[in-house]
Structure 1
Amino acid sequence: MENESQRGSPTRGDRQRERTRRKLLDAGRTLIAERGVAGLRIQEITERADVALGSFYNHFTTKEALVEAVISESLTDLAAATMTSVRHVVDPAEVVASSCLRIIRLAFDDPDFARLVVNLGHADSLFGTAMHPYARIAVERGLATGRFAVVDIEVTLTAIIGGAFGLIRGILDGRHGRGAEEAFTQHVLTSLGLTPTDAAAVSGSVAATIGR
């Protein structure tokens, strides 16, 4: 008779390790929200997670590694939630517009978190990895319906995601103010094949719906 390991299913030990990792991530996320990264201590994290101090190093090599994991997970959750919020929207252009507006507004609505994201090591890579799967789904939907037209989807996605990251950093640095998110959204929609007039109409309509 095959055991769990032979079948490829998670063993009891695997499940315990995953529970411990989940506790550490949740504790880290809570402490970062409460006091930021600067004063974060590994012992505090393990105490909040109610696990042994040594357990931390079974999952993360450093405090910074845990912070990266927390931020990466938070960004993925944000991207997933953004797509979920528009799952019933028919027009792919409106889906993209809503996603762009919500992601860029992170710099205005939660600047502390946005600043933490852009200041991490490999920040652009973490941001891209979190956003790419959801952005690709949205763009592919528009290509399938004929709403969008692009030469190369991967080049387009790289430009859009990289532009979003750069704009968030620019907003935090004070180089752009309110309205930048709508200008960016219109730019994205035109890069996907909409006319400037159509892009402005879609962006304005979605912005009014989700609130300026």
Structure 2
Amino acid sequence: MAKVDLARRAEIGREKRERTRTLILDAGTMLMAERPREAVTVDAVVEAAGVAKGTFYYHFQSIDELAAAVGEKLGDSFDAVLKDARLALEDPVKRLSFAFTKFLEKAISDSNWARLVIQSSQSRTEYARGIRTNLKADIAHAIIQERVTIPDAELAVDIVMGIWLQVTRGILDRGARPDVTQQTVESVLRALGASRSDHQNAWKKWS
């Protein structure tokens, strides 16, 4: 009789549990991209994932806990989009333009991601708070430098996020024109009262 490798058996068990959790998380992500969080049920998730209800509750105590995991996954995707390049940009207006450009490019290339962003924006998710915090920091920096004319950072964040979400909805509904990203970034800077030179430098191919 072959000797049982208990360590390997435990590792296989962990891998299987992780694959199952990923199936459930992916199903929840798909459903939450299609409908409001309040319309997502455990029954719908387990049906989409192809697992038993008991399996769902082994990994997540509730839909709220699953939604938090989806939000964390979405937040990680924002970090992946921005990478370290944003931190290398010291100019707050360039940081804002860079982030806005990358978010729109991601929305154009990944409609499921864009739908999830739109649906998640209706809830006070952790990722949404994180985005607001970063935007507010950049805009507040630009206000101090007198690079924008809007003196209220919170209002400026509302303007930026409102434009971003509405343009993303338009991309989902009608598709993206070749110049939509450039025009949108320039419109955001005009709305914030940035200078003409910043408008001219807003659009570039970021490396």
Same structural fold, with TM-score higher than 0.5 when normalized by the shorter chain: yes
Aligned length: 175
Report what 1:170 is aligned to.
170
Percent identity, aligned pairs only, is 15
Matched, 1:41 2:46: yes
* Cα 1:172–1:53 shift into 2, 3 Å: closer
For 2:180 and 2:153, the matched residues in 1 are separated by 24
Q: What are the residue-to-residue correspondences of 1:1-212 with 2, within 5 Å?
A: 26-31=22-27, 36-37=30-31, 40-41=45-46, 44=49, 53-56=56-59, 58=61, 60=62, 62=63, 65-66=64-65, 68-81=67-80, 82=82, 84-118=84-118, 120=119, 123=122, 125-126=124-125, 128-174=128-174, 176-195=176-195, 197-205=196-204, 208-210=205-207
For 2:167 and 2:176, the matched residues in 1 are separated by 8
Q: What is the TM-score normalised by the length of structure 1?
A: 0.65
Q: Is the 8 A contact 2:104 2:181 kept in 1?
A: yes
- Aligned-residue CA RMSD in angstroms? 3.4
Q: Deviations over 1:51-87 (max 9, x none)?
A: 95543453x2x3xx35532442233224444274211
Per the TM alignment, residue 164 of structure 1 is displaced from its structure 2 partner at its CA by 0.7
Q: Deviations over 1:141-196 (max 9, x none)?
A: 2223333332211111011112111111111001652322211111222233322x
Q: What is the TM-score normalised by the length of structure 2?
A: 0.67
Give the unaligned 5+ runs of structure 2: 1-17, 35-43
* Cα 1:144–1:45 shift into 2, 3 Å: farther
Q: Deviations over 1:117-142 (max 9, x none)?
A: 32x37636547434211111221222
